């Protein structure tokens, strides 16, 4: 997709997604036009049969008279009307074949289009920065990637291709009608601008309603998604009634909005039917009067009624296409919002490789929102191969430090510098940086896969020996042995079948399996008991040769053996030193220690 500095328009985005499908849609449009042309021939065949073969009016063009003579003359065709019937049947069959292959080609183009949209959207969404997800609900994102994508597919494969077919049908029908009776052609054609104008009127009214309906559906999806993933919390606190009421209230608002929208659509279709019926009635009445007065031949009357019937449906369809464009326009804009959101540039993101060395924070300040600084002038150095503990109250900025280090959030210009081995991480290749660092997040996330797949998620080829070692280090081996399916135990969405401690230990095994030079444990032992905590730290210490460990915790016991401990307070470094040094200072660290040890 385009880089963040380039923006899609509606047209350019559709053109981008159509790559690979254009030839199928082009073929479909051609076949659709061919079918429309063949459909228009049949009434002419009937007209010439009635006027020239049966009544011998001799008013047809010379080419038609020559064709009749070539086929054996009027008398011969009067005795063998099956020839004309077979010609009409052959024309209808040819039109049917064109329509069949049109639908096949259109379907291939449509499915190719929707596959391209899904693939491109998924890749783009995966590369959007973490800050983007904080501003957008998961339910709304899913709704854009499902319902709105389907709407775009319908627009391109049905409505956009229909515009070509409808246009040709209208032009051909009016052309043939003009050749039969100019006045009737004018009467029939006069209804076209009327349909277009009132369709545009409804288009403007319906468009805003579709946008609101899509937004409400996104909120409804978000509530459902939250309750499905957080069902244990809802049950644990007995909040079923509250959540049900919340869902029903949102659903009621969403339903009322669609009822209001359906009111507009009903008015649109009723007026469409009324105008179409009026058009057909006028042509029938005026045509019959002209025929009685002898100003219109019987064959001409039959043909012009047929063409008017053929014209009335394309005119109605033109109105429907204009109306449906309202919904398509809303969906295109909602997808365009995602596509125009700047992604992390994983290709042109710096060419310097991270090869190791000391980690340095130099006068770093950071705010998630303006005027609400989380970090204030932070400076420290972590020596390569050392173990550093970070402790502090909730909201003191501990997790923000490591999120900036891994470039999950970008450090703005003028807010300091973070480097590894002398390389500014802004100038480093992101792939190189993130391969150099492994993190156990504060809230470990497990996928709906087996334990083994979750532990080995970063591995293309599984090393069974390293897997066993990682599981043993994370003190997860006994837990796995108790499971009936062992490593093949399915953990469910977000690891719902595991306890908090089991999820944390699985995430720790994940990081150890990755074996990166820098390992970050962000409060990753909070859900395990003190004894297991000590065993894991002891096992990690044996693996610490050449590795840099950053331990973020609330427990003093987790960080007290670290080479250096950083105490955070309100976005600043309050204290630094070893456990013994900090105990002698009798500051925040000692207060926490005394509270935790009674």
Residue 113 CB contacts under 8 Å (≥ 6 apart), including other chains? 17, 18, 21, 152, 153, 156, 157
User: In 3D, which of 115, 275, 128, 269 has the Cα closest to residue 194?
Assistant: 275
Where residue 345 falls among pLDDT bands split at 50, 70, 90? low
Predicted TM-score of the model (pTM): 0.68
Mean pLDDT of 180-190: 82
DSSP label at residue 8: -
Query: Residue 51, Cβ neighbours under 10 Å: how many?
Result: 22
C-beta atoms surrounding 249 within 10 Å: 11
The dihedrals phi and psi of 136, each to the nearest 5 degrees, come to -130, 130
Query: What is the per-residue pLDDT across 550-575, written as a single tens digit (0 to 9) for each?
Result: 998 888 888 888 899 999 988 899 99
Domains in the chain, please, with CATH?
Answer: 10-339 (1.20.1560.10), 359-596 (3.40.50.300)
CA dist., res. 82 & res. 452, Å (int): 74
In the predicted structure, residue 591 carries a pLDDT above the cut 50: yes
Q: Quick one: how far is CA 452 from the chain centroid?
A: 30
Task: Flag whether pLDDT at 349 surpasses 70.
Answer: no
SS3 360: strand
pLDDT digits (tens, 9 = 90+) for 75-116: 666 677 777 778 778 888 988 999 899 889 988 998 889 899
Pairing status of strand 387-392 against strand 564-569: parallel
Q: What is the pLDDT of residue 54?
A: 65
Q: How confident is the model at residue 545 (pLDDT cuts 50, 70, 90)?
A: confident
pLDDT at 63 > cutoff 70: no
């Amino acid at each position: 997709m385009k880089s963040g500095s380039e923006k899609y328009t509606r047209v350019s985005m559709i053109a981008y997604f159509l790559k690979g499908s254009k030839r199928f849609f082009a073929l479909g449009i051609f076949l659709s036009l061919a079918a429309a042309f063949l459909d228009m021939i049949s009434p002419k065949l009937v007209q010439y049969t009635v006027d020239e073969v049966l009544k011998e009016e001799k008013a047809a063009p010379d080419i038609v008279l020559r064709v009749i003579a070539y086929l054996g003359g009027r008398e011969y065709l009067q005795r063998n009307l099956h020839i004309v019937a077979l010609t009409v049947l052959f024309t209808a069959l040819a039109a049917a074949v064109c329509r069949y292959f049109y639908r096949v080609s259109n379907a291939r183009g449509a499915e190719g289009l929707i596959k391209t949209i899904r693939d491109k959207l998924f890749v783009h969404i995966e590369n959007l920065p973490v800050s983007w997800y904080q501003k957008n609900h998961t339910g709304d994102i899913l709704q854009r990637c499902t319902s709105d994508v389907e709407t775009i597919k319908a627009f391109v494969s049905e409505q956009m291709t229909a515009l070509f077919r409808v246009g040709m049908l209208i032009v051909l029908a009016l052309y043939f009608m003009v050749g039969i009776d100019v006045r009737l052609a004018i009467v029939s054609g006069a209804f076209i601008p009327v349909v277009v104008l009132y369709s545009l009127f409804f288009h403007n009214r319906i468009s805003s309603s579709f946008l609101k309906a899509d937004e409400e559906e996104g909120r409804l999806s978000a509530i459902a998604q939250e309750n499905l993933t957080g069902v244990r919390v809802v049950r644990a606190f007995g909040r079923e009634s509250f959540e049900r009421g919340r869902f029903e209230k949102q659903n009621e608002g969403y339903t009322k909005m669609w009822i209001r929208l359906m009111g507009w659509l009903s008015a649109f279709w009723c007026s469409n039917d009324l105008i179409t019926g009026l058009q057909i009635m006028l042509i029938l009445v005026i045509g019959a009067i002209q025929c009685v007065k002898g100003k219109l031949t019987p064959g001409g009357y039959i043909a012009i009624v047929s063409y008017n019937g053929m014209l009335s449906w394309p005119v109605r369809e033109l109105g429907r296409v204009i109306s449906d464009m309202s919904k398509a326009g809303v969906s295109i804009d909602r997808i365009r919002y995602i596509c125009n959101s700047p992604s992390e540039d994983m290709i042109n993101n710096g060419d310097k490789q991270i090869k190791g060395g000391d980690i340095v924070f130099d006068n770093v300040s950071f705010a998630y929102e303006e005027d609400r600084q989380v970090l204030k002038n932070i400076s420290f150095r972590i020596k390569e191969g050392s173990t550093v503990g970070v402790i502090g109250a909730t909201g003191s900025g501990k997790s923000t430090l490591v999120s900036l280090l891994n470039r999950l959030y970008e450090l703005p210009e003028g807010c300091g510098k973070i480097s590894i081995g002398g390389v500014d991480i802004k100038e480093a290749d992101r792939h190189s940086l993130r391969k150099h660092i492994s993190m156990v997040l504060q809230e470990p996330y497990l996928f709906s896969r087996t334990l083994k797949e979750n532990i080995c998620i970063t591995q293309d080829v599984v090393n069974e020996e390293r897997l066993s070692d990682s599981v043993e280090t994370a003190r997860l081996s006994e837990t796995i042995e108790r499971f009936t399916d062992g490593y093949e135990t399915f953990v469910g969405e977000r690891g719902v079948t595991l306890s908090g401690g089991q999820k944390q230990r699985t995430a720790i095994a994940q990081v150890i399996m990755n074996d990166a030079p820098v390992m970050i444990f962000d409060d990753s032992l909070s859900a395990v008991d003190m004894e297991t905590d000590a065993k894991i730290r002891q096992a990690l210490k044996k693996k610490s040769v050449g590795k840099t460990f950053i331990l973020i915790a609330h427990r003093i016991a987790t960080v007290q053996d670290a080479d250096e401990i950083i105490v955070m307070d309100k976005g600043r470094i309050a204290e630094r030193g070893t456990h013994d040094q900090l105990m002698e200072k009798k500051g925040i660290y000692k207060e926490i220690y005394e509270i935790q040890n009674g």
